[in-house]
């Protein structure tokens, strides 16, 4: 009987560990998601949001909800990259547009 008990203990340990890992992953996802969303909001506030960013964020969230974390992080990374690039674009354009004005 003992081995059976041990194996069931092992199983619950495994379950516990994987739940913990998943929770860690989820909180990391949530942290990174919030960060990406802050960049998107900054781009939007500057009037420079790109067209795909919020759709990528939605897809990342849905994919994470479905438990497919690798893909979720990849989508999130794309969204974050775009949102940050859009903010940089807004920063550049705050002055750069002036040189294009026809004189």
Partner 1 sequence: MNKTAVMLTSILATSLAQPAAIAGPEEDRAAFVRYFQSRFPDVEFDEFANGIYAIDADSRRQWLEIEEFPPYEFAIEQGESEWQQTFANGRTFADCFAQPSDSIRAMYPRYEEARGEVVTLEIALNDCRAANDEEPYAYDAEELIDLTAFLAFEARGKAVAVRIPADQPGAIAAYEDGKRFYYSKRGQLNFACSDCHITSVGQRVRADRLGPSLGHTTHFPVYRSKLGGMIGLQQRFLGCIRDVRAKPFELQSTEYRNLEFFLAYMSNGLMINGPGARK
Q: Which two tokens stand for residue 100?
A: 């294009």
Within 10 Å of residue 101's Cβ, how many Cβ atoms?
Answer: 6
Give the nearer residue to partner 1 in terms of CB position, either 8 or 28: 28
Within 10 Å of residue 32's Cβ, how many Cβ atoms?
Answer: 17
Residues 3-62 close enough to bind partner 1 by CB under 8 A: 35, 38-39, 42, 44-54
Phi, psi (deg, nearest 5) at residue 86:
-65, -40
Name residues whose C-beta falls within 8 Å of residue 54's C-beta, 6 or more positions apart in sequence.
Answer: 40, 79
Segment near partner 1 (CB under 8 A); pick from 12-20, 23-31, 66-74, 79-87: 79-87
Give the nearer residue to partner 1 in terms of CB position, either 5 or 98: 98
Give the nearer residue to partner 1 in terms of CB position, either 74 or 81: 81
Residues within the interface to partner 1 (CB under 8 A): 35, 38-39, 42, 44-54, 82, 85, 87, 89-98, 100-103
């Amino acid at each position: 009987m003992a081995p059976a008990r041990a194996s069931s203990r092992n199983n619950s340990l495994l379950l516990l560990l994987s739940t913990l890992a998943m929770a860690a992953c989820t909180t990391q996802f949530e942290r990174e998601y919030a960060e990406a969303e802050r960049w998107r909001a900054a781009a939007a506030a500057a009037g420079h949001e790109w067209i795909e960013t919020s759709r990528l964020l939605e897809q990342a969230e849905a994919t994470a909800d479905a438990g497919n974390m690798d893909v979720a992080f990849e989508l999130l990374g794309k969204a974050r990259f775009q949102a940050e690039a859009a903010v940089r674009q807004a920063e550049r354009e705050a002055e750069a547009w002036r040189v294009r004005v026809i004189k």
